[in-house]
Amino acid sequence: MRATAASALGREAWARRLPLLPAFVYVFLVTQIPFVLTIYYSFFSWNLLKPGSFRFAGLENYGSIFTSESIRIAVWNTVLLTISVIGISVVLGLGVAMILNSEVFGKGLMRTLMIAPFLIMPTAGALIWKDTLLNPLFGLLPYLLSPFGLGRVDWVNQYPMVTVVTVEVWRWTPFMMLIILAGLQSQNPEVLEAARVDGANAIQSFRRITLPLVRPFIELGALLGSLFVVQTFDSIFMLTFGGPGEDTTNIPFLLYLVAFQGFSIGEASAIGVVAVIITTIVATLALRTLFSIFQIEARR
């Protein structure tokens, strides 16, 4: 009797688990096992251009990573890029969201046009910026700036990081705007009205009521955004190809260079491991926030 009950329970448990399995197994196989292999390869020296070069190298790859200037530069560029893109686009996104949340003409159309940069294929967007807007010979911006003596500025090469940040901010501001706008719209207008009656001016009511209310949304946008911006590859590939020098080489791009230009499998794997460690730190923070937002739901 008890055995039957147990087996029925077991069957019930399996019936519950079964729908989960295909997705779980698939994700596990395609992400976890390759990662283990990445760790494994990181202890070997192997260049695909040199058949027969596969040999155990111990910590050699890590040694060369931590002594090489390239990875330091790449980490710095990644941090710089992520922080400036997220910081600027959150501020801009907040501003635009507040305008869109107030009484303005053509609100719907404004929002529609505003989100276009986020939807445009990143490779296409970067190319348009580089070749039709910033090109020193034929581009629009140097032409418009020529009365100010900036007509021959070669933005992409002379200010490579500024260019990449600009293009990425252009792309991520709409993202931030959408999230923050959703937060603002969940705000009860009566509370604001009450505050106004209370005698609070615009700045005070922004700081005391609006900001605390949209803060979780800003955090969410910033964290989700940074997980994507940390991985920026498209626009760097199209705009600067990591250069000049190593001025815009971030971790993903360095990995690309080592793996697919230098074909150094071992070293690329070691960079991969380091990238995972860094990202895990950021992602843990992000997920904690995400879970706190979901907390009420998760308890259900």
Of 9, 24, 76, 198, which one interacts with other proteins (CB under 8 A)?
Answer: 24
Cα–Cα distance between 163 and 151 in angstroms, integer? 16
* Contacting range for other proteins; rule: CB under 8 A; set: 80-88, 193-201, 205-213, 267-275: 267-275
Of 80, 128, 200, 213, which one interacts with other proteins (CB under 8 A)?
Answer: 128
**255 neighbors 171 (Cβ within 8 angstroms):** no
State which residue, 4 or 67, has the beta carbon closest to other proteins.
67
CA atoms within 13 Å, Cβ hemisphere of 126? 19
Cα–Cα distance between 130 and 133 in angstroms, integer? 6
Q: How far is the CB of 119 from other proteins (least distance, A)?
A: 4
295 is a site residue for other proteins (CB under 8 A):
no
Q: How far is the CB of 58 from other proteins (least distance, A)?
A: 18
Of 8, 29, 150, 191, which one interacts with other proteins (CB under 8 A)?
Answer: 29
CA 45 to chain centre: 31
138 is a site residue for other proteins (CB under 8 A):
yes
Q: Which residue has the tokens 């074909």?
A: 263
Of 48, 83, 194, 281, which one interacts with other proteins (CB under 8 A)?
Answer: 48
Which residues from 59-98 bind other proteins, rule CB under 8 A? 95-96
**170 neighbors 239 (Cβ within 8 angstroms):** no
149 is a site residue for other proteins (CB under 8 A):
no
State which residue, 100 or 209, has the beta carbon closest to other proteins.
100
Cα–Cα distance between 277 and 62 in angstroms, integer? 13
Cα–Cα distance between 58 and 52 in angstroms, integer? 18
